[in-house]
Structure 1
Amino acid sequence: MTQHIPQEQEQDPPALLEAFDGLSATGLSRSFGAVHAVVNMDLQAPAGQVTALIGPNGAGKTTLLLMLASLLAPDSGTVRVMGIDPIKDPAAARAKIGWMPDTLGVWEALTAREILNTMGKFYRLPKEKIPTRVQDLLTLVNLTPLADQKARVLSRGQQQRLSLARALIHDPQVLLLDEPASGLDPGSRVALRGILRQLAAEGKAIVVSSHVLAELDEIADGAVFVNQGRTVLTQTVDQAAGQGRKYSISALDPAALVAALTALGVAFESGNGRRDSVIITGPTQEYASALLRDLVMAGVDVCAFAPATGALEETYMSMKVEQP
């Protein structure tokens, strides 16, 4: 298996960790018996940004999130939540954290409104402000028509939206989301993107773990890639978009497209979609733009020219991550 394993780095001094405006983790490790779920992981999620957490099943993402949420103690390493050490002051850290697990969990016999009301009381929100806060969140996640339905009758996607509202009830500064798009229909996914970008614009530090990499291209500012319990790569989405990637090209006359690419000396392979297309690899966006111009000037009626995969997906696939 090919991995991009970074060399070991010195841990940031405590003063720098406490001054970091967002969520920071350095050298986190956690084992369950003989299983090393997380090994010396690092992650920084700045305030005002969405940070994607990407890796295959079994990579340690959920274990990492549980430690970041102060729900699981690390064997070693440090975490700071807006400068707060959750080991020393868990109550203060949790007051700043919104945690959305990959399933809604308990309280299926309560209605959506009752669940949010109860969470408001747990976080000791002023009693007179809870009803308004609950209604605002039900509106935000588009659950007002279902507010008085039992949680158990909600669909998977509706439960996910309720789980997001539950995580936001106390207006946290750090938001940890484990597979938030799971079960959402296309319209709800678009709405989720808008909600998360708005929350980031308000200054919140957001970490999103998801296998839907195309969604993360539209949501995230940066990404942390993990595999086999280790951090293997960190990059911004702009860096991912600027790297070499595959492009899918279609034309009204496929034969003319193939002839033009051959004449230009461009290597290509057949696409695997329903529509006739070819796949080329471009080292930069400028290369792709110049190739499109050359094809048009050669008289090829190009009807589609776009990345074959998302930027973060391209990075993930280039890592040749071995599935467990």
Structure 2
Amino acid sequence: MSRESGVTAHGVRRSFGSVEAVADVDLVAAPGRVTALIGPNGSGKTTLLLMLAGLLTPDAGTVSVAGFDPVTQTYQARSRTGWMPDVFGTWDSLTAREVLTTVAAAYRIPAADGERRAAELLDLVHLSELADQPAHVLSRGQKQRLGLARALVHDPEVLLLDEPASGLDPRSRVDLRVLVRRLAAAGKTVLVSSHVLTELDEMADDAVFISRGRTVASETVESAGETRRWRISALDQDVLVAHLDQAGVGYVVEPDGGAGVLVPLSDDTEAAALLGDAVRAGVDVVSLAPAGGVLEQKYLALEEERR
């Protein structure tokens, strides 16, 4: 697949009356990779995803999904897009199986193929035992899993996932991460929005950060983690701080009575060297670990810069 077959957005804007929900967004999500869309509430993430899904029209800018414009080439774009909203609306009178076969029919999949596809997907999202139960009896997490299956019915090239882990239990969250990585490995473009940044650390290859409707950063997860803060704590913090001062290591004592000291380190090797030096210097180190995930730290740093 070419990069153009993924998702691109350039200079995208969308307002609702006097409220500018998306002010200026640039985004690239490449095939075979998972791209995380990160931003605070009200930053325009869902509005952007709705435009990519062809459910809203941009006021300005250009959008391409799987090589097609969702506004002018609606059928071609939607037939290649799997859309999972943050809240899954269901036809309560239909069973889980009927929800999927109905969606399959909407995509013009022959009935027999739709039945087979529904069975495969119900097994994939661990809903086979509830396949013939009405959708209204499903829990929030089960409806989320059914929503993911619905997005996959027509084997789309592009997946747009808005808070897909919302309401999922821990086991289902792990299953979701594994499935998303498998879909990307198969060459699909996956764009996922989530507030659980630690999960995105394990799922995403790239990240696009937006704030107040604008793109503020875009990079790979690997490059975002080149320098991250680690938390080191000791039985006597004064002794630890004195050692760091003597060693010329930059640090920040955690505010608000935090028990540790934050140190910027580039990788595990540098962390191991810091720990070894401290122990040899007689510091009774209690723990040394990253102070949050890569994306969480990048996001917080951007928020601090913005303020």
* TM-score, with length taken from structure 1: 0.86
Contact 1:248 1:271 in 2 (8 A): no
* 1:294 to 2:294 alignment: no
| Structure 2 counterpart of 1:263, one-letter code | H
> In 2, Cα distance between the equivalents of 1:101 and 1:137?
18
| Structure 2 counterpart of 1:259, one-letter code | V
Deviation larger for 153-162 or 191-200: 153-162
Which residues of 2 match residues 143-222 of structure 1 at below 5 A?
143-222=127-206
Instruction: Quote the residue 2:242 is aligned against.
Output: 262
Secondary structure, aligned partner of 2:92: coil
Root mean square deviation of aligned Cα: 2.2
> In 2, Cα distance between the equivalents of 1:322 and 1:62?
24
Contact 2:230 2:265 in 1 (8 A): no
1:68-121 residue CA offsets vs partner (Å, 9 max, x unmatched): 001111111111122112222101110000000001113122111110111111
Instruction: Quote the residue 2:31 is aligned against.
Output: 47
Deviation larger for 308-317 or 147-156: 147-156
Secondary structure, aligned partner of 1:20: helix
> In 1, Cα distance between the equivalents of 2:109 and 2:287?
53
* 1:282 to 2:285 alignment: no
> In 2, Cα distance between the equivalents of 1:114 and 1:322?
49
1:239-268 residue CA offsets vs partner (Å, 9 max, x unmatched): 11112x3212345xx12x652442231545
Instruction: Quote the residue 1:135 is aligned against.
Output: 119
Instruction: Quote the residue 2:289 is aligned against.
Output: 306
| Structure 2 counterpart of 1:237, one-letter code | V
Deviation larger for 228-237 or 294-303: 294-303
Secondary structure, aligned partner of 2:303: coil
Secondary structure, aligned partner of 2:71: coil
> In 1, Cα distance between the equivalents of 2:197 and 2:26?
21
| Structure 2 counterpart of 1:27, one-letter code | G
Instruction: Quote the residue 1:121 is aligned against.
Output: 105
> In 2, Cα distance between the equivalents of 1:321 and 1:295?
30
Secondary structure, aligned partner of 2:201: helix
Q: CA deviation at 1:180?
A: 0.5
Q: Percent identity, aligned pairs only? A: 54
Secondary structure, aligned partner of 2:165: coil
> In 2, Cα distance between the equivalents of 1:307 and 1:201?
28
Query: CA 1:136–1:279 in structure 2 vs 1: closer, same or farther (change >3 Å)?
Result: farther
> In 2, Cα distance between the equivalents of 1:321 and 1:152?
43
Deviation larger for 182-191 or 104-113: 104-113
- Unpaired segments of 5 or more residues in structure 2? none
1:278-310 residue CA offsets vs partner (Å, 9 max, x unmatched): 132214225433212212333556453211111
* 1:241 to 2:225 alignment: yes
Contact 1:40 1:230 in 2 (8 A): yes
> In 2, Cα distance between the equivalents of 1:55 and 1:103?
18
2:46 corresponds to which of 62, 70, 92: 62
Contact 1:279 1:308 in 2 (8 A): no
> In 2, Cα distance between the equivalents of 1:247 and 1:19?
35
> In 2, Cα distance between the equivalents of 1:311 and 1:139?
33
| Structure 1 counterpart of 2:47, one-letter code | T
Query: CA 1:158–1:19 in structure 2 vs 1: closer, same or farther (change >3 Å)?
Result: closer
Secondary structure, aligned partner of 1:24: strand
1:181-210 residue CA offsets vs partner (Å, 9 max, x unmatched): 111111111111000000000000000011
* TM-score, with length taken from structure 2: 0.91
Secondary structure, aligned partner of 2:68: coil
| Structure 2 counterpart of 1:170, one-letter code | H
Contact 1:227 1:321 in 2 (8 A): no
Contact 2:239 2:283 in 1 (8 A): no
> In 2, Cα distance between the equivalents of 1:319 and 1:19?
27
